[in-house]
Amino acid sequence: MNCFDAVIIGGGAAGLFCAIEAGKRGRRTLVIEHNAEVGRKIIISGGGRCNFTNLHTSPENFISQNPHFAKSALSRYTPRDLVELVKQHGIDFYEKKLGQLFCCERSRQIVDMLLAECRTAKVKIVTNCSVVSVRKDERFAVETSHGKFECENLVIASGGLSFPKIGATNFGYKVARQFGLKVVQTRPSLVALVAADRERFPALAGVSIDASVTANGRTFRENILFTHRGLSGPAVLQASNYRQPEKPLAIDLMPETDARNLLIENHDSRKKLGNFLAEHLPEKVVSLIVERSLAEQPMNQIGKAKLVSTGELLNNWQQKFIDTEGWHKAEVTLGGVSTEELSSKTMEAKRASGLYFIGEVVDVTGWLGGYNFQWAWASGFAAGNAV
How many angstroms separate the CA atoms of 182 and 173, rounded?
Answer: 9
If one looks up domain 193-324 in CATH, what number appears? 2.40.30.10
Q: What is the pLDDT of residues 334-382, one digit of tens each?
A: 999 999 999 999 999 999 999 999 999 999 999 999 999 999 999 999 9
pLDDT of amino acid 166? 86
pLDDT of amino acid 38? 97
Residue-range domain boundaries for the chain: 2-188+330-384, 193-324
Q: What is the pLDDT of residues 306-340, one digit of tens each?
A: 999 999 999 999 999 999 999 999 999 999 999 99
Q: What is the pLDDT of residues 191-230, one digit of tens each?
A: 999 999 999 999 999 999 999 999 999 999 999 999 999 9
If one looks up domain 2-188+330-384 in CATH, what number appears? 3.50.50.60
Q: What is the pLDDT of residues 103-148, one digit of tens each?
A: 999 999 999 999 999 999 999 999 999 999 999 999 999 999 999 9
Average pLDDT over residues 286-296: 96
Average pLDDT over residues 260-278: 96
pLDDT of amino acid 1? 56
Q: What is the pLDDT of residues 55-105, one digit of tens each?
A: 999 999 999 999 999 999 999 999 999 999 999 999 999 999 889 999 999
Distances from the Cα of 253 to the Cα of 8, 211, 217, 315, angstroms = 46, 5, 17, 6
3-state DSSP percent of the chain in helix, strand and coil, to 5: 35, 30, 35
pLDDT of amino acid 167? 85
Under a CB-based contact definition with an 8 Å cutoff, are residues 113 and 86 in contact?
A: yes
Under a CB-based contact definition with an 8 Å cutoff, are residues 57 and 374 in contact?
A: yes
pLDDT of amino acid 288? 96
Confidence of residue 17 (pLDDT cuts 50, 70, 90): very high
User: Which backbone phi and psi does 179 adopt, to 5 degrees?
Assistant: -95, 15
Q: What is the pLDDT of residues 137-194, one digit of tens each?
A: 999 999 999 999 999 999 999 999 998 888 889 999 999 999 999 999 999 999 999 9
Query: Where would I find the H helices in the chain?
Result: 13-24, 40-44, 71-76, 79-88, 108-120, 171-178, 234-240, 259-265, 273-277, 283-289, 292-295, 304-315, 371-384
